[in-house]
Structure 1
Amino acid sequence: MHHYAALLRAVNVGGTGKLSMAELRAMCEQLGFATVRTYIASGNVVFESALSEANIKAALERTLKAYAGKPVGVLVRTGKELAAIVDANPFASAQPDRTVAIFLDAAPPANTLATASGINTEEIALGTREIYVHYPDGIARSKLKIPAAQMGTARNMNTVARLAEWTASRPA
């Protein structure tokens, strides 16, 4: 069994008419994932599975599409990958709630930095399958647009660290 975190993209979580974390946990359990646990109502779920990342992604996306009636993107990372993302954070000295990792399915394109627009005080760096962004003035005030991030999903570094902790501490 491997420890994974799945991050849902562009889905409403919590509240009426939305995907609750209880429903997300139940979906994961029905797919055969073990020790399923969700983290805050923003589409983060941690679990164990013998399946590959690609099979987990496909199964979750298929189940979520059936539930929502539209495609829902899912980004999957192992516990080791999450720990590496935390360790590689180029903005580790910045406030973790003002720094995000934007998770992607593949490596960011080489032209990611060149195609970004609306840069003011933000700092951007490329990771393995993520884009790091530090928003010194806060995300709400930013006009930053990163075309390569359109199919990704962002989590602040507090969340990434917690998911890394949960996937690392899970019994094998």
Structure 2
Amino acid sequence: MKATTWIALLRAVNVGGTGKLPMAELRALCEAAGFAEVRTYIASGNVVFRATGTEASVKAALETALAGWFGRPVSVLVRTHAELAAVVAANPFADAAGNRLMVSFLDAAPPTDALERVAHRQGERIALGRREIYVDYGDGMRDSKLKVPAAKAGTARNLNTVRRLIEMSRP
């Protein structure tokens, strides 16, 4: 089986003082799981690597390695380079600043009623993607009270980070 370049997005790692994981340790965990050409990007749980197998098997291997290190489950979302590029291409808010547009990555399609369940919206623009939720914070996230329950199962990255991961994973 031919190796694929994968982008893994770890959930709740090095955010708000929880789930501290040095990126050197993340690289070592990935290599021990049999992944090759492992590279990390910023200390918020972004890793690019090559591996054989399916999305499900790559995700399971990384989640198992992380659970062993943390002593608790850590959720991981994985995408290929083409899938990540498609997320940017499908961005419904092309005029949004890259640092103010958040993409929440999910394992499955967001629920059809996801937008109806949003609370405390103050002008933020929100749209559903294939397995993502896009939120344009316009004036910034600092004062936002927005709650998107459907996004809780995923992990979010700003568009600048997504673009950088696409560059890092380019074939």
Return the TM-score normalized by structure 2: 0.94
Q: CA deviation at 1:167?
A: 1.2
Could you say what secondary structure the match of 1:155 adopts? strand
Name the aligned partner's letter for residue 155 of structure 1: R
Name the aligned partner's letter for residue 66 of structure 1: G
Per-residue CA deviations over 1:93-124 (Å, capped at 9, x if unaligned) read 11000001100000000000000011001000
Aligned-residue CA RMSD in angstroms? 1.4
Between the two proteins, the alignment pairs up a number of residues equal to 167
Name the aligned partner's letter for residue 160 of structure 2: N
Could you say what secondary structure the match of 2:87 adopts? helix
Q: Which residue is equivalent to 1:129? A: 131
Return the TM-score normalized by structure 1: 0.93
Runs of 4+ in 1 over 3 A off after TM superposition: none
Q: Which residue is equivalent to 2:159? A: 157
Q: CA deviation at 1:80?
A: 0.3
Could you say what secondary structure the match of 2:147 adopts? coil
User: Among the aligned pairs, what percent are the same residue?
Assistant: 61
Q: 2:20 and 2:163 mapped to 1: Cα distance?
A: 26
Worse overlay, 4-13 or 80-89: 4-13
Q: Which residue is equivalent to 2:115? A: 113
Q: Which residue is equivalent to 1:26? A: 28
Structure 1 position 67 matched with structure 2 position 85: no
Name the aligned partner's letter for residue 151 of structure 2: A
Q: Which residue is equivalent to 2:44? A: 42
Name the aligned partner's letter for residue 162 of structure 1: R
Judging by fraction of residues, say which structure has more helix: 1
Give 5+ residue unaligned stretches, structure 1: none
